[in-house]
Structure 1
Amino acid sequence: MYCLLVTLFVVIFAVYKLFEHQRGKTMIENTNNRHVLITGCDSGFGNELARLLDKRGVPVFAACLKEKGAAELKKHTSSRLRVLQLDVTDQNSIHDSVEFVKRHLPKCSGLWGLVNNAGLQILEAPLEFHSSEAIQKCISVNLLGSIDVTKSFLPLLRKTRGRLVFVSSDSAIIEWPCRAPYVISKVGLEAIAECLRRELYHVGVTSHTIQPGSFKTKIVDPNEMKSTLQRAFDNVDEEVQQYYGQQWLSKLKESFSEIPGIQYEDLSPVTNAMYHALFSVMPKRRYRCGMDCEYYYYPVSLLPEWFNTWYWKMSPPPDSVTRVDNQVIKNH
């Protein structure tokens, strides 16, 4: 009897997954009247998605932080795409963007999609290297900004039973050492996406997350990362500097130089996932983008926690364990 129930469960699950896969291939028609707002369009995923949607006839509101990014995007898109400036950490800026979108939407219509893409990573270093201001800025842009933008545009999304898309990261799968504020912001983003999935179920607004692996965008610049790390090291207490030391600092800087070699230059796996989340008849709850994210980080994350702690541990400073042990003995 037990074997029969297990077999029945497996068959039902397989049939459902096949149905889900086939339905996922079916895309919504008439996308030329479904307006989409994308944040963080100055460069990277947001910029690429704005161009992709514009080419496919989707009316886009492309939110850029800087005038330079907005001007550059206008050069490569049609007059159908509307560019606006938006600082996701500024309530006045968010309010102005809502009014801008309302003015340019057809009368009595709403917003079909909101892609919360704006994000940054200020510093890759142990937590004690991060200033309070740096931590706050990272969380404000990546997490709180997305929450505030989403709250402000929800009335327009409810009108269309539209789609919410949150650009997360492989940092929501692996709690990388030296990226604590960034990890916190992305794990929080996944959480808010799931909360909204449940809160908005009754009105038909769906929520989806995108988890890119190692893709080449301006958020990760090895040279900038090295200089930022050096400034952070110079500003911490002397005790912290002595604990880590110059040798450890140089080794971490060298590791940044290896990043371009593992990054995907083709951003289409991410933008295609975003497009699917916006316009598939049966979009996925979560999209893992990149071979590393799908077939390496995620499977490893399912292994026992003690293994993950050991496997992803930070390289310790030279003789740090011995020095700490000696200090403990001395204090006692």
Structure 2
Amino acid sequence: MNSLSDAMSVFQKSTTVMRYSFLLLGLLFVGVFGVFKFLSASILPNLLTNLGLGLLAMVIADLGVKLVVNVVPRVNLPHLEKRAVFITGCSSGFGLQLAKRLDALGVTVYAGLRNSQCAGALELQATCSKNLHIVIIDVTKDEDVKNAVKYVNKTIGDKVFWSLVNNAGISIFGLTEWVDVTEYRRLYETNVLGCVRVTQAFLPLLRENQGRIVVTGSVSGRFAYPFLIPYSMTKFALTSYVDGLRREMRQWGVGVYWVQPHLYRTNLSELEVVVRQSNQVWGAATEEVKSSYGEDFFKNYLERGTGYIGENASNNIDEPVSDLIDAAVGATPQYCYTPGMKARFEMFLARYLPIYLIELMFLLFQYCYTPGMKARFEMFLARYLPIYLTDIYTEMNVNLKFPAAVLERKRLQRDSKKLH
């Protein structure tokens, strides 16, 4: 795309199939606003004023409650030394730090991981008390899960089995066309069915003590991020599972809590891991897919994806771990936690903004993210300009980021016009 007219032409063609009409939105807004103005000036001024104030007060009150909850110091349950917690996925990241901090609080911790000789297991053995138990468990294997329950029953003594923290999870990076179905199945088996399998196995103990189930989710369970669709699918499934399970378990007095972090520096988001996984996924893609997207597209995806993670991943892992602790042993746990102010703000927007504005927020990530001031300027444009203008900007400035097949089709369309 070398001119504004070319970009406008492509945009107009692409929007002919859109069902969402910005013209209709504008007309309806003017019409509804006009009706409200007429009513407020004539027959129903007090009703509309009070209705508007009531809705505004409800939103502000909701935000106020959330602010207070996050500002007021948290208090843990009494007698933590008499309580036991089982955690999956303790080899690194949130699970490792959660196990260490709960152990420091005096809780009997069962730290589940797949390899007793991994770095995380050795660190736990070296730094924690004798009240921490290393439990070998692969959440995808029924026998491992059954053995874990037997081990807890055998060693718990007079302690109360209080919380199960489902933290085990894996990820993969790449466009949906690049990722083989077997990888989707692998992620689903660990992230979703693994959680279900472990939860079902420990439910008898949890029901007996009216304990808690805690699930480590992700904001990807609310947004399907580009390049993370397989992972997002599993987190969406967990979101549904937690919502339903919470309502089912209420009759038993079992609490179900959900912690949904955004982007933190853990093993899942290590740049080396992202690059390795992306190369593996791209290497395993079919030749047809590779020729359609082109090597330049993949290189651009990798550069921009790692740049985004490198600039935006938070080092403050204490945020989600503190929320996990509050969910597991806090005196007044919340149903859902979103660690970090940035993530809370994004979830607020997701709750109250129309979906087309949410789409606008993600528009530039896939095609035109560049670390530094340029990226911030582009994100500013994406946030405040109408979406059709940002689409035109994308067509004009980042056409090299599009799949080779798309560029070829546009070239053929131009050549066809010249012939006629």
Q: Does 1:84 align with 2:169?
A: no
1:33/1:6 CA distance change after superposition, 3 Å: farther
Compared CA separation, residues 237 and 152, structure 1 to 2 (3 A): same
For the pair 1:277 / 2:327, whether they are aligned, the reply is yes
Give the Å deviation of 1:300. 4.6
Is the deviation greater in 27-36 or in 198-207? 27-36
CA-atom RMSD, angstroms? 2.9
Query: By how many angstroms is 1:292 displaced?
Result: 2.7
Letter in 1 for 2:312: I
The CA deviation string for residues 125-155 of structure 1, in whole angstroms up to 9 with x for no partner, is 1111111221111111111100110010000
Structure with larger Rg: 2
Which amino acid counterpart does residue 319 of structure 2 have in structure 1? Answer: P
The answer to whether the 8 A contact 1:214-1:290 is kept is: no
Question: Which of 261, 274, 277 is the matching residue for 1:228?
Answer: 277
TM-score by length of 2: 0.71
Which residue of structure 2 aligns with residue 27 of structure 1?
76
Structure 2 CA distance for aligned equivalents of residues 218 and 248 of structure 1: 26
Residue in structure 2 matched with residue 65 of structure 1 by the alignment: 114
Per the alignment, do residues 239 and 5 of structure 1 end up closer, same or farther by CA in structure 2, a change over 3 Å counting? closer
Aligned match for 2:174, one of 125, 137, 140: 125
Alpha-carbon deviations, 1:268-289, whole Å to 9, x = none? 1111101111223321111001
TM-score, normalising length: structure 1: 0.89
User: Does residue 306 of structure 1 match 2:323?
Assistant: no
- Contact 2:82 / 2:160 at 8 angstroms: preserved in 1? no
Of 87-96 and 213-222, deviating more is: 213-222
Deviation, 1:321, is 3.5
Conserved? CA contact 2:221–2:236, under 8 Å: yes
**Which 5+ residue runs of structure 2 have no aligned equivalent?**
1-45, 368-400
Which deviations, in whole Å up to 9, do the C-alpha atoms of 1:241-298 show, x marking residues without a partner?
1111111111111124322332222211111101111223321111001233112354
Alignment correspondent of 1:37: 86
Q: Could you tell me which residue of structure 2 aligns to residue 101 of structure 1?
A: 152
TM-superposed deviation, 1:325: 5.7
Q: 2:97 aligns with which of 40, 43, 48?
A: 48
Question: Partner letter of residue 83 of structure 1?
Answer: I
Query: Is 1:317 aligned to residue 367 of structure 2?
Result: no
The 3 A distance-change label for structure 1 pair 220 and 159 is same
Q: Cα 1:248–1:54, aligned 2, differ >3 Å: closer, same or farther?
A: same
SS at match of 1:208: strand
User: Structure 1 residues 256 and 17, CA, compared in 2 at 3 Å: closer, same or farther?
Assistant: closer
For 1:61 and 1:227, the matched residues in 2 are separated by 31
Q: Across the two proteins, how many residue pairs are aligned to each other?
A: 328
Note if contact 1:27-1:281 (Cα within 8 Å) is conserved in structure 2. Answer: yes
Q: Which has the higher contact order (CA 8 A, sep 6+)?
A: 1
Name stretches of at least 5 consecutive residues in structure 1 with no aligned partner: none
| Equivalent position SS for 1:35 | strand
Identity fraction in percent: 26
Measure the CA separation in 2 of the matches of 1:328 and 1:106: 75
1:109-148 aligned within 5 A? 110-122=160-172, 124-148=173-197
How far apart in 2 are the matches of 1:236 and 1:216?
28
Alpha-carbon distance change, 320 to 289 in structure 1, aligned in 2, over 3 angstroms? farther
Partners of 1:135 and 1:176 in 2: how far apart? 15
